[in-house]
């Protein structure tokens, strides 16, 4: 049951339409006053009455004929507070979880609407490093959230495959490269010669001119330059795909910067036609001083394009190809100004969909000894992080569960889950200093803690020997070896059990809030809260003790917890582990 809608339907206020009431009803800030609340302040002007008087009048009107799901209605100051019938609420939440299963929390909110999500965007011939973790797992989680809520989602990996760095790499390869070594060591070999180029150019600046010439050859279609560039790209994609598979991340498009190289000129022409393009010191710019921003550079003084040029071409291509309702860019906050400039240019060109372009900024990752730099070779490869996490997980499993079957698979799930969860547990805008000790900590509010909770739920259900079924007519039933018992919600309508029920009931709204705020950490924090609540319930209530009716209710709640945690795991990209 959607309790907010049901409560809103009970409230009739002269001069206020149903939507006004619906959007005003909210979860109570303090459960001591009730479960849901209607702040009456916004209706005071319309009704020309004090909020407290409005609340009191509504309380009298509604209390005369309370529906089954409401225990009582109270007026407190300017608030109208609703306390739900606990047994009814618990039954409603459990029915929803078992009826929907893996679709619990799903909706058709986004039916008929398309969202493009640009994320990860690794650079060809450069390491897939720990700095890419944030954009990759945040973007993937947002894709899953929007899909869960009914949107058509287009996940885009906007590959960095354009620019003078490829001229530098070809120059380095021609001077010091070994094809066999690159095929054997992949990106590490490419990174080695790239770092060497930047060291050598300090002594021999002429190398830069050579590199620019090789990049021009790529642009002009030179066969050798294109062959080498294609080789570097194949090596990169072969290697990074392994990491994407481990992270459970996939894309609908890999159209990178080079894809838009022939799509920029129409945008440049349109800017000129609309008299938005001016020349400053030989460069073509869009003057944004009126809006408190530096100029947006479109063409350098040598006629070369820039990131803004390609991003503008990308926006118009995506709008035409996908007809998006929103286009999200999961990019670090260092690019805040860039996206403000580009989106403002789209607005000045007269396109109202500029409002649908959204920069989902996230914090940067740095090393304990400073910032990362591909040029200096100061990198932490993401594959190394995943390998080390798996290694540590395998060691812990060997110590605590030496007889565990499929220990390798469990270690991969736990290790990778620790890395993903560590990147998603905090608000996305927060900077992170990366350290193995921190991200591989298997205690506290971590991915492994949640996986252990899921395994604990599974262990309880296995010990109970229970099979739980749901039918719209019979409701929920728990079948044990000695018989079948119907679920009685009264047994979980108080104490730690009911606190857990309330959390499970919040999950659909958590997903909507995560979507609205582009904030996957709302899901991870919710999962931590749910796991902690379950473990308090596990200690407070002996799940498998008591008469069969009590035991049935508690195992049903345990199964519901496991189902919702698995549901949340799917959203954030962590694999559940049924035994640890």
pLDDT digits (tens, 9 = 90+) for 247-272: 999 999 999 999 998 999 999 999 99
Q: What is the pLDDT of residues 266-293, one digit of tens each?
A: 999 999 999 999 999 999 999 999 999 9
Place of tokens 């869009």: 286
Dihedrals phi, psi of 64, to nearest 5 degrees: -70, -20
The correct answer on CATH 1.10.760.10 for the domain covering 400-572 is no
Distance set, CA 31 to CA 475, 502, 537 (Å): 28, 10, 19
Any idea what DSSP says for residue 504?
Answer: H
pLDDT bucket at 31, cuts 50 / 70 / 90: confident
pLDDT bucket at 468, cuts 50 / 70 / 90: very high
Least confident window among 112-116, 379-383, 459-463: 379-383
- Mean pLDDT taken over the chain: 93
Mean pLDDT of the 392-399 span:
90
Q: What is the pLDDT of residue 441?
A: 67
- Is residue 29 predicted with pLDDT exceeding 90? no
What residues have CB less than 8 Å from 461, skipping those under 6 apart? 555, 558, 559, 562
Spell out the domain ranges in the chain: 3-84, 163-248, 400-572
Q: What is the pLDDT of residues 145-172, one digit of tens each?
A: 999 999 999 999 999 998 888 999 999 9
Q: Select, from the ranges 25-34, 187-196, 551-560, the one with the highest average predicted confidence (pLDDT).
A: 551-560
Q: What is the pLDDT of residues 350-391, one digit of tens each?
A: 999 999 999 999 998 776 765 555 555 567 889 988 999 999
303: left (phi over 0), alpha (psi -120 to 50) or beta: left
Place of tokens 């619906």: 22
Any idea what DSSP says for residue 122?
Answer: P
Burial profile 114-149: b = 16 or more Cβ within 10 angstroms, e = fewer: bbbbbbbbbbbbbbbbbbbbbbbbbbbbbbbbbbbb
Question: Fold match between 3-84 and 400-572?
Answer: no
Q: What is the bridge-based pairing of β-strands 79-84 and 277-280?
A: unpaired
Q: What is the pLDDT of residue 359?
A: 98
Report the distance separating Cα 336 and Cα 426, nearest Å: 20
What residues have CB less than 8 Å from 14, skipping those under 6 apart? 46, 47
Mean pLDDT of the 559-575 span:
98
- CATH class of the domain at 3-84: alpha beta
Q: What is the pLDDT of residues 285-323, one digit of tens each?
A: 999 999 999 999 999 888 888 899 999 999 999 999 999
């Amino acid at each position: 049951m959607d309790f907010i809608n049901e409560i809103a339907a009970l409230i009739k206020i002269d001069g206020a339409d149903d939507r006004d009431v619906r959007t005003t009803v909210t979860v109570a800030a303090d459960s001591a006053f009730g479960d849901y609340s209607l702040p009456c302040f916004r209706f005071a002007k319309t009704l020309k009455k004090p909020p407290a008087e409005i609340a009191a009048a509504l309380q009298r009107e509604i209390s005369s004929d309370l529906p089954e799901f409401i225990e009582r209605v109270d007026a407190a100051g300017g608030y109208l507070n609703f306390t739900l019938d606990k047994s009814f609420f618990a039954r409603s939440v459990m029915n929803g979880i078992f009826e929907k299963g893996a679709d619990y929390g799903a909706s058709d909110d986004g039916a008929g609407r398309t969202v493009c999500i640009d994320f990860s965007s690794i650079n060809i011939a450069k390491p897939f490093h720990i700095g890419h973790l944030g954009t990759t797992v945040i973007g993937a989680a947002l894709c899953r959230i929007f899909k869960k809520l009914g949107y058509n989602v287009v996940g885009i990996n906007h590959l960095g495959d354009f620019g003078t760095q490829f001229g530098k790499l070809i120059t380095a390869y021609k001077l010091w490269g070994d094809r066999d070594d690159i095929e054997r060591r992949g990106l590490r070999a490419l990174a080695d010669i790239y770092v060497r180029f930047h060291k050598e150019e300090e002594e021999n600046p002429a190398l830069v001119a050579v590199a620019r010439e090789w990049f021009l050859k790529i642009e002009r279609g030179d066969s050798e330059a294109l062959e080498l560039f294609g080789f570097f790209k194949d090596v990169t994609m072969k290697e990074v795909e392994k990491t994407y598979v481990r992270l459970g991340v996939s894309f609908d498009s890999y159209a990178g910067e080079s894809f838009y190289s022939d799509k920029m000129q129409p945008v440049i022409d349109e800017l000129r036609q609309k008299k938005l393009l001016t020349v400053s010191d030989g460069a073509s710019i869009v003057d944004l001083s009126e809006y408190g921003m530096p100029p947006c550079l479109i063409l350098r003084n040598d006629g070369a394009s820039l990131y803004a040029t390609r991003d503008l071409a990308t926006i118009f291509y995506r709008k035409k190809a996908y007809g998006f309702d929103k286009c999200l860019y999961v990019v670090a906050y260092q690019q805040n100004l860039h996206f403000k400039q580009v989106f403002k240019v789209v607005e000045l060109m007269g396109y109202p969909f500029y409002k649908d372009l959204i920069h989902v900024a996230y914090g940067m990752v740095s090393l304990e000894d400073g910032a990362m730099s591909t040029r200096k070779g100061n990198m932490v490869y993401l594959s190394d992080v995943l390998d080390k996490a798996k290694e540590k997980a395998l060691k812990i499993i060997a110590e605590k569960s030496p007889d565990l079957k499929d220990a390798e698979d469990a270690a991969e799930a736990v290790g990778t889950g620790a890395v993903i969860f560590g990147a998603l547990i905090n608000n996305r805008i927060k900077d992170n200093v990366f350290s193995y000790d921190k991200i591989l900590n298997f205690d506290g509010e971590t991915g492994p803690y949640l996986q252990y909770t899921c395994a604990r739920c599974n262990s309880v259900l296995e010990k109970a020997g229970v099979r739980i079924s749901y039918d719209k007519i019979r409701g929920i039933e728990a079948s044990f070896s000695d018989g079948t018992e119907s679920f009685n919600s009264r047994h979980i309508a108080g104490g730690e059990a009911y606190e857990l029920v309330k959390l499970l009931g919040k999950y659909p709204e958590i997903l909507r809030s995560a979507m609205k705020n582009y904030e996957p950490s709302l899901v991870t924090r919710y999962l931590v809260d749910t796991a902690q609540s379950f473990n308090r319930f596990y200690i407070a209530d002996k799940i498998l003790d008591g008469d069969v009716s009590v035991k049935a209710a508690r195992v049903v709640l345990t199964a519901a917890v496991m189902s919702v945690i698995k549901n949340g795991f799917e959203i954030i990209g962590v694999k559940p582990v049924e035994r640890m």
